[in-house]
Amino acid sequence: MIRIGIDLGGTKIEAATMDSAGNIQSRKRISTPASYQGMVNALTGLVGELQPQAAETCPVGVGHPGSEDRDSGLIRGANSTWLNGRSLRADLSAALEREVRLSNDANCFALSEAIDGSGAGAASVFGVILGTGVGGGMVVDGQLLAGAQGIAGEWGHNPLPWLLPDEFPGPDCWCGQSGCIETWLSGPGIAADRYGRTGETMTPSEILAHPEEFDRYASRLARALAHVVNLLDPEVIVLGGGVSNTPGLAEAVESALPRHVFNDRVTTLVRRHLHGDSSGVRGAAWLWPAN
């Protein structure tokens, strides 16, 4: 079965066709329109362009920021704020004249890496996004764990644990709390932390190239992920997003985890993503499992 996966981002939209073996057949990327209706029209156009290349009416999966309220069907908590309060599933299904499946973009990343990425073969995989924001998704036996509210995996808005003296009380977060993991581990969080201590404006990659900054970040990431291990005990944690490309980060975090996990040994593996930027569209397509 050929399915279409769409990765809906704040600045770009990527769509791809994928077969049942996980092979990408075609793909197209466009800039995200400035309005909600413009986005719906753009997605309809993308599906129309990709559809003729398949011999069947393709099911469509969409990865998006935020989460869908199960009762109202409205999107909430999206940093692309023009999505919030919108009936994305209903509007796309009506425009495309077929059922559309939706999931959070971090869930799509996790699903992609669990099925045939760096977590392939593991019974439980936690996928981590370390980019402009911080998010996550949990896959158990090849199925997404959505949770009662549809927010499973939103570890970025828990507080960073085991704060050091110079970390208390933590930066203010856009969610209204302070000290959230996202404020420490996101790309903007890394830059803000460096600026606050040194007055220097640097990119996250420039900052993490300094050994002391790398060690500081790896310690924070290990502490944050130790909570995930204590709660969910995944076999594999897969790191994604731009920050995850930092050389040696996955290995450093895996080494540091045992200092914080409540067990005498830790077998959880920490791995860098396999599919990279393609995980968004791949995971969206995998919302329709292979037949």
Per-residue pLDDT of 201-259, as tens digits, reads 999 999 999 999 999 999 999 999 999 999 999 999 999 999 999 999 999 999 999 99
> Looking at the domain assignment, is residue 115 inside a domain?
no
> Looking at the domain assignment, is residue 228 inside a domain?
yes
Whether 13 and 78 share a structural domain = yes
Question: At residue 287, what are phi and psi to the nearest 5 degrees?
Answer: -60, -20
Give the model confidence (pLDDT) of 103-135 as tens digits. 999 999 999 999 999 999 999 999 999 998 899
Whether 202 and 78 share a structural domain = no
Q: In CATH, what number is assigned to the domain containing residue 264?
A: 3.30.420.40
Among 212, 204, 202, smallest CA distance to 186 is for 204
Fill in the DSSP letter of residue 159. Answer: B
pLDDT at residue number 291: 59
pLDDT at 266 over 90: yes
Whether 141 and 257 share a structural domain = yes
Distance separating alpha carbons of residues 88 and 95, to the nearest angstrom: 10
Six token digits for residue 183: 């404020």
> Looking at the domain assignment, is residue 113 inside a domain?
no
Whether 202 and 257 share a structural domain = yes
> Looking at the domain assignment, is residue 52 inside a domain?
yes
Q: Which residues pair with 138 in a beta bridge?
A: 126
Asked if residue 163 lies in contact with residue 183, where contact means CB atoms within 8 angstroms, the answer is no
pLDDT at residue number 81: 83
Domain, as residue range, for 30: 3-107+278-285
Chain centroid to CA 127: how far?
7
Among 159, 138, 162, smallest CA distance to 150 is for 138
Give the model confidence (pLDDT) of 161-197 as tens digits. 999 999 999 999 988 999 999 999 999 999 999 999 9
Determine the angle formed by the axes of helices 88-96 and 36-50, rounding to 10 degrees. 40
Give the model's confidence band at 284: pLDDT under 50 very low, under 70 low, under 90 confident, else very high: very high
pLDDT at residue number 77: 84
Six token digits for residue 99: 């059922």
Question: At residue 129, what are phi and psi to the nearest 5 degrees?
Answer: -105, 125
Give the model confidence (pLDDT) of 29-76 as tens digits. 999 998 999 999 999 999 999 987 666 789 999 999 889 998 999 999
Which amino acid belongs to residue 77?
G
Whether 144 and 173 share a structural domain = yes
More confident residue, 291 or 171: 171
pLDDT at residue number 213: 97
Whether 164 and 193 share a structural domain = yes
Tally of CA atoms within 13 A in the half-sphere of 98 that contains its CB: 16
Chain centroid to CA 125: how far?
13
More confident residue, 1 or 112: 112
pLDDT at residue number 278: 86
Whether 51 and 129 share a structural domain = no
Whether 79 and 131 share a structural domain = no
Six token digits for residue 278: 């393609």
Distance separating alpha carbons of residues 115 and 234, to the nearest angstrom: 15
> Looking at the domain assignment, is residue 114 inside a domain?
no
What is residue 245's three-state secondary structure?
helix
Asked if residue 58 lies in contact with residue 4, where contact means CB atoms within 8 angstroms, the answer is yes
pLDDT at residue number 1: 84
pLDDT at residue number 56: 73
Six token digits for residue 159: 């507080």
Whether 85 and 145 share a structural domain = no
Distance separating alpha carbons of residues 35 and 39, to the nearest angstrom: 6
Fill in the DSSP letter of residue 276. Answer: G
First-to-last alpha carbon distance for the chain, in angstroms, is 7
> Looking at the domain assignment, is residue 101 inside a domain?
yes
Whether 100 and 179 share a structural domain = no
Whether 139 and 233 share a structural domain = yes
pLDDT at 24 over 70: yes
Q: Which residues pair with 140 in a beta bridge?
A: 124, 143
Whether 101 and 133 share a structural domain = no
Structural domain total, the chain: 2
Average pLDDT over residues 3-7: 95
pLDDT at residue number 54: 61
Preceding omega of 234 cis (within 30 degrees of 0): no
